[in-house]
Every structure is written in C-alpha cells, then in structure tokens.
C-alpha cells in the first residue's frame, strides 16, 4: 500500500510529530506508515484522511502486489 501522507504534510507544512499529536499516535507510527512499513487500521486511516480533509482513497492506494 502506498500513501501520500508526506506530500499532504508538506502542503500543510506540518511535521510528523504535529500530525501524530493531532491524531493521537506516536511520531514513529507516522514514520512507519509513510515508509510503507506499517499499514494503518481503518480507524487510523480515516483519522489521517479527515485531518487532511480528503478521502481515504486519495491518501491511501493499493498496489498491484497488495
């Protein structure tokens, strides 16, 4: 699964820590999601998308191998 979290953070000019604080997770969790090492739960994906004011489909995309 790929995602556009890093791009969305850059648009809002926020750090991983600021996003983590806003949605109630650790900075390491955000880092792991951005790098594709961790696939977020549905609830976490929805919180991230809501924070950016976007749909989950615009933030997270399945790859052919998923």
Q: What are the residues whose beta carbons fall under 8 Å from the beta carbon of 32, sequence distance 6 or more?
A: 38
What pTM, to 2 d.p., does this model score? Answer: 0.92
pLDDT at 14: 98
CATH class of 2-61: mainly alpha
pLDDT at 58: 97
pLDDT at 66: 81
Mean pLDDT by 10 residues, the chain (66 residues): 97 98 98 97 98 97 88
């Amino acid at each position: 699964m790929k995602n556009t979290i890093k791009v969305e953070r850059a648009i809002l000019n926020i750090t991983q820590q600021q996003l983590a604080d806003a949605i109630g997770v650790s900075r390491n969790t955000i880092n792991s999601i951005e790098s594709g090492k961790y696939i977020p739960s549905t609830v976490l994906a929805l919180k991230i998308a809501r924070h950016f004011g976007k749909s989950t489909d615009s933030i997270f995309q399945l790859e052919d191998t998923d």
